[in-house]
Amino acid sequence: MIVDLFQLRGKVALLSGAGRGIGAAAARALAEAGADVTIAARTAEELEKTATAVREGTGRRVLAIPADAYDPAAAHDLVERTVAEYGRLDVLVSVTGGAHPRPFLRTGDDALLDSFRSNVVNGLRLVREAVPHLLGSDAASVVMVSSTIGHVVGRGYVAYGSGKAALDHSVRLLAAELNPRIRVNAVAPGAVLTESLEKVAADPAIKERLERETPLHRLGTVEDVGAAVLYLASPASSYVTGQVLAVDGGLLKSNLDMPFPDL
């Protein structure tokens, strides 16, 4: 049956940035499909909440490891501890990155460099550590979490959008280099109701604008993205690699340009 292609029974997944939001939803989705998971994030308390929810909700094994994505040693440790715990690695989901909106003329070198470190370097480092073990899987998949702002335009997003655009192309380059042994894809969420956006959307006027400017006229949920991650991680997408899957309600441009003054 087609639905069986979405199953991950007997597989092991490692997810970074899984303490809350999209990462936590992706961890739940993969565990519900039968995978045992390792989840990592900086905040131990958030990680434990996610781990408890996954264990109680799915019955799958969960290894929670506090880790800082900026620490090169942490990436190596995450992969090695995962393989030591489960004996294998089949799926890697990298949920890292971010950058605060700001006018371009106030976007200094430090902001640009940090965006590329958080959105590109940290994720690629984890992939590099994972590849030797993913090669031992018969269904290896890497899923990066990008952003719609990597391929649409909007005011205030030069640092963040440039970082995500670079991540998108790294997915295509990685897929070409790791074919046919490891599939590499990305999801690109739009305005998704994570804790960060919930604070912004608490203003009814902003929420109304976000919904009005989105073709599907609603905000996304973390479950929307989690479902897309499951698709790309599972055999259901076994003929898909080098792709960036937009999960953004149909956006063709930013639905929240920053109200910066014109030049």
Residues carrying an active site annotation: 160
Label residues 55-87 b or e (16+ Cβ within 10 Å = b). eeebebbbbbbbbebeeeebbeebbebbbeebe
Residue 10 main-chain phi, psi, to 5 deg: 80, 0
Q: Which of 194, 177, 175, 182 is nearest to 243 (CA)?
A: 175
The whole-angstrom separation of Cα 36 and Cα 82 is 10
Residue (of 114, 149, 119, 113) closest to 16 by Cα position: 119
Tokens of 223: 């479950």
Rg (CA), the chain: 18
Residue 216 Cα distances to 107, 191, 212, 226, angstroms: 32, 11, 9, 18
Helix (H) or strand (E) holding 20, with range, is: none
Sign of torsion over alpha carbons 131, 132, 134, 135: positive
Sign, Cα dihedral of 164, 168, 171, 173: negative
